[in-house]
């Protein structure tokens, strides 16, 4: 059973981090703080004031932290190393302001999983430890994003990100009854049944697997595996290639979509608190449960038409954590 420390008072974050990190990160450890520094136009990503307390605690323990994130496949402010570093600086993430280096890289080591050869970002695998610092929020493909999403897509190269999305695109393998569920729920608007059968525009498709899991006839299958499955495999690859991993989930400014989303991205839940755990599956499961309880509904499934625990079940199957947890 995973142990998850939960605090409601954000003002106690630094004190709790000091307690939690003391048994995990040590003097001289180079610690990669894996996080998302925000896409241009996004309003809800973690700000430097949210992150600096973790940096300061690690430095007080004698560790040598650095912030890290990977580049993305879509155009914007983070699709090259140079553009991401500029975006990070515009968002206040500089070594002078945060107190540690800011690293963005697409260098990798390869890790084979059940269905893919994942390129895990080398700064994570080369560090003595990884602090997975995640802003909990919704996600149009995964339902929600927490530690698993941060480790997987966030820990992968641009190529592996593309391979994951492409491998999840749907094929029609059964009988389409033209019910229109796929067309109604597709976030990319790539699915249609107007021709009297299922048709998908692969160039527009995000590979989210929502059409597959929501099809009432189970008429669709992924090219390789469901998005949630490949997401779990990516997290497995990053954990396997890293020396040690510890997770922090920050549940504040919980938006409908991820921190990659520019423009409209409404807040869908009240702030809950901060969670700490060495188990990425337990911490994400606890985060979903706490939000569902606070909001009185199946929050991310309602908002994004994807069961957020699909990715967690696959992650448990791959042995990187357990769904069973104890809040302490």
Domain borders along the chain are: 2-159+228-327, 169-222
Q: Which residue has the tokens 């998908």?
A: 200
pLDDT for res 286: 98
pLDDT of residue 7: 98
What pLDDT is attached to residue 195? 81
CATH topology of domain 169-222: Alpha-Beta Plaits (3.30.70)
267, 315 in Cβ contact below 8 A? no
Q: Which residues of the chain have pLDDT under 70?
A: none
Model pLDDT, residue 174: 96
Whether the domain at 2-159+228-327 and the domain at 169-222 fall into the same CATH topology: no
CATH tag, 2-159+228-327: 3.40.50
Q: Is the Cβ–Cβ distance between 298 and 292 less than 8 Å? A: yes
């Amino acid at each position: 059973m995973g142990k998850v420390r939960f605090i409601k008072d954000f003002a106690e974050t630094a004190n709790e981090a000091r307690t939690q990190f003391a048994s995990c990160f040590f003097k001289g450890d180079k610690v990669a703080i894996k996080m998302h520094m925000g896409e241009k136009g996004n309003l809800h990503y973690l700000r430097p004031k949210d992150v600096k307390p973790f940096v300061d605690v690690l430095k007080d323990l004698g560790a040598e932290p650095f912030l890290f994130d990977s580049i993305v496949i879509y155009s914007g402010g983070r699709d090259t190393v140079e553009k991401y570093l500029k975006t990070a600086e515009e968002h206040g993430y500089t070594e002078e302001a945060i107190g540690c280096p800011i690293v963005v890289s697409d260098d990798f080591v390869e890790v084979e999983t059940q269905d893919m050869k994942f390129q895990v970002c080398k700064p994570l695998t080369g560090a003595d430890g990884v602090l997975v610092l995640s802003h909990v929020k919704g996600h149009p493909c995964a339902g929600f994003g927490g530690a698993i999403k941060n480790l997987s897509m966030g820990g992968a190269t641009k190529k592996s990100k593309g391979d994951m999305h492409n491998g999840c695109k749907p094929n029609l393998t059964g009988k389409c009854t033209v019910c229109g569920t796929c067309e109604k729920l597709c976030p990319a608007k790539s699915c249609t049944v107007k021709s009297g059968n299922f048709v998908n525009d692969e160039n527009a498709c995000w590979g989210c697997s929502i059409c597959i899991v929501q099809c009432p006839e189970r008429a669709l299958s992924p090219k390789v595996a469901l998005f949630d499955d490949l997401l779990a495999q990516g997290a497995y690859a990053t954990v396997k290639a890293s020396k040690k991993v510890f997770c922090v989930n920050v549940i504040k400014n919980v938006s409908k979509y991820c921190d990659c989303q520019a423009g409209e991205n409404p807040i869908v839940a009240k702030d809950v608190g901060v969670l700490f755990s060495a188990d990425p599956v337990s911490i994400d499961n606890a985060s979903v449960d706490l939000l569902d309880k606070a909001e009185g509904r199946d929050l991310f499934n309602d908002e994004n038409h994807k069961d957020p625990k699909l990715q967690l079940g696959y992650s448990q199957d791959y042995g990187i954590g357990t769904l069973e947890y104890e809040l302490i």
